[in-house]
Structure 1
Amino acid sequence: MIGAYGRSVRITTELGDITRVEADAIVNAANSTLLGGGGVDGAIHAAAGPRLLAACRELRRTTLPDGLPVGDAVATPGFDLPARWVIHTVGPNRHAGQTDPAALASCFTRSLDVAADLGARTLAFPAVGAGVYGWSPDDAANAAIGAVRAWAVARPHVVDHVRFVLFSAPLRAVFDAALAAAGAGAGE
């Protein structure tokens, strides 16, 4: 595990399956419908059980009738997951012309804002944007690490630990390099 501190927030990377992570909250790389999909989104919906889909349908029926906007985040219970909450965020889709890095960074900061509002002290992220939405692993890692570090400076002592749970060794290596380049230094 590579680790660093972004002020009071401990930031680490690990190889693993985000659906098995014990954390206060995990982040879902969702689509705007919130009704499940492929990749991380499909895996989280499958592992959380049918109550997650029901909760997302309720969000769509009530507060998000047009879906969750790109770069925003919303929480549901974790249901059958080891995490208490799932924070859903929608990354910008480069294939659809959504190429603003600030929108990608917003996925991480808004997820942290929602985690803070919930009182979550530990949060696990996947590589939001680095899958079917077409962001390069380097761009996704730099946006993620930069956003988390900036958020931690602005809101110290709110979230204790941010974990990047990555599904492949090459992707983890890219996140480790971004963490080191951000001046974080290696840890564990």
Structure 2
Amino acid sequence: MAQHPQETVIGRITSVFGVKGWLKVYSYTDPVDGILSYRHWTLVHDGKRIAAELDTGRRQGQGIVVKLKGIDDRDLARTYGGAEIRVPLSELPDLPEGEYYWYQLEQLSVYTVEGERLGKVDHLLETGSNDVLIVKADDASIDQRERLIPYLPDDVVREVDLAAGRLVVDWDPEF
């Protein structure tokens, strides 16, 4: 499903937790429990948008569990499994200069330092050691290959120009 231009995905509901309507959440925020600072969520599930309000939540092992207002039993909670959790962009905190949210990097045109166009950033992956840009070819690319480029500012990623919609990488196009 296409993302609304004024919101971003911050996590997803994975399954139920217990019998009183609690839900397990996979958070895309850093730190992981940062998702708990957003009280008003839009859940997107099976093409439907559902307004939800966070009642309470906490770390549970490696993950997060939450209780949403109005969801008080396991059967109702189960219907939300797989839902994306979205918040308005206006609720995201400002980042220091040189840091970016993933949504800001998606769809940027990617060029090598020599000026060769590799395609556009489709999405990013978190690998543990560093994030990875998934760059998909487009009509203006030098070829039709998909590339996985490590997101390493000042090393591989040399320039991010959001206004111009451009990202410059020190990357061999043969990779």
Q: TM-score, normalised by structure 2?
A: 0.26
Q: Indicate the structure with greater helix content.
A: 1
**Greater RCO between the two (CA within 8 Å, min separation 6)?**
1
Q: Indicate the structure with greater strand content.
A: 2
